[in-house]
Amino acid sequence: MEFLTVLGKTVLLRPYVFVPLMLALAISVSLMGRTRTTIFFLITWMVAFACEFSSTRTGIPFGWYFYNDSTRGQELYLSNIPFMASLSFAFLLFGSYCLSLLFRSRSRRQGSQIYIASTALQTSWSVLALSVLFFALVDVIIDPVALRGDRWFLGKIYYYPEAGAHFGVPIANYLGWALVGLLALGLFRLLEPRLGAPPPDANMAGPLLLGAALYFGVVIFNLAMSFWFQSSNDLLDRRAADRLDRAHALSAGQRTAVAKARRTGAFEDIITCQAPFSQESPRKIRKEDVASKENAHGKTTPIAPRS
């Protein structure tokens, strides 16, 4: 019962993983059938989990990184790995696979139907290589955004102990993604002939286009988030510059007011000023705050106002 409760919390916490996964499964069933879909997604998840398990302990193949357990109890974990993290590899690889089939296929028209891919092409090495490339490239966009999860609803769930060369992500991470894609698709290709006769050639235009749309949907979402981060940073930079300008102006105003009070001797006149970088109410500077002392040459040296 507790397992089901945590699983339900996981789905609610990570709808941006669960929804694309369900869409990918539905598209895959119409493209490859239930058996091949099950094997494809199971192999991909197992390979991804094994690589994450290894990398968080040995640094291979993604480089050293760690999950911080900030969502433990809110979502399902397998050992130290969030369950949904490894699942995301599966639908991303499927989208990459559909996109590569679109690139490699020669369409043919039969009446109102368009046949884009043959079943023989689905397990070709050329499709495998192109799928691995698309799979690694999509993470070039995803991982820098995910690493900044504290800026959006993902949350800060993992970190690299040493910042990498690509927006804090090490290059080894992308090589690791390519390895996951290569192993998963390679194993699927080896097992596929043992899964019985493949389904006859069918109109695959719809499933492939939907799979490619899923891939580009993920890309667009992450690009939108990265542009939002940049806009937020620009706004923060402008605010910081404004506060710095205010601080300089107020400091100059304080110095002018103190100098005037010393010249006129009107120490009892209340001079108000705003403290730099503070939202406190104006402070009052009186005679004791601008008291002076005589130095060896008979000149006076102002004492800084008390905070």
- In terms of DSSP bridges, do strands 158-159 and 113-115 run parallel, antiparallel, or are they unpaired? unpaired
Q: Flag whether 244 is in a domain.
A: no
| pTM value > 0.75 | no
Residues 44 and 154 in one domain: yes
Q: What is the distance between the alpha carbons of residues 226 and 220, in angstroms, rounded to a whole number?
A: 10
pLDDT for residue 33: 86
Q: Are residues 57 and 205 in the same domain?
A: yes
Both 94 and 193 in a single domain?
yes
Indicate if 107 and 213 belong to the same structural domain.
Answer: yes
**34-46 average pLDDT score:** 95
Same domain, 174 and 294: no
Q: Could you report the per-residue pLDDT of 198-247, keeping only the tens digit for each?
A: 666 566 788 889 999 999 999 999 999 888 777 665 545 555 555 655 55
Please say if the pLDDT value at position 290 is more than 70.
no
pLDDT (0 to 100) of residue 273: 44
Domain range for residue 54?
A: 2-238
Q: Is 258 part of a structural domain of the chain?
A: no
Specify whether 65 is located in the same domain as 173: yes
Quote the crossing angle between the two packed helices 15-32 and 83-104, to the nearest 10°.
40
Last residue of a domain, one of 222, 238, 254: 238
Write the DSSP string, 110-168: ETTEEE---HHHHT-HHHHHHHHHHHHHHHHHHHHHHHTGGGSTT---EE-SS-BTBTB
Would 243 be classed as within a structural domain? no
Q: Give the length of the chain.
A: 307
Domain assignment of residue 274, yes or no: yes
Cα 202 to Cα 117: distance, rounded to the nearest angstrom: 8
pLDDT digits (tens, 9 = 90+) for 51-69: 999 999 999 999 999 999 8
Say yes or no: 205 and 297 in one domain.
no
116 and 177 inside one domain: yes
What is the number of structural domains in the chain?
A: 2
Looking at 220, 238, 256, the residue that finishes a domain is 238
Q: What is the 3-state secondary structure (H, E, C) of 251-284?
A: HHHHHHHHHHHHHHCCCCCCEEECCCCCCCCCEE
**Residue 47 located in a structural domain:** yes
Higher-confidence position of 242 and 181: 181
Closest CA to 139 of 175, 182, 98: 175
Is the distance from CB of 149 to CB of 155 less than 8 angstroms? yes
In a domain, 259, yes or no: no
Q: Domain end: 238, 256, 289, which one? A: 238
Say yes or no: 206 and 71 in one domain: yes
Q: Is residue 251 part of a domain?
A: no
Same domain, 229 and 273: no
Strand, coil or helix: 301: strand
Q: Quick one: 36 and 133 in the same domain?
A: yes
Do 136 and 271 have their domain in common? no
Residue 288 lies in a domain: yes
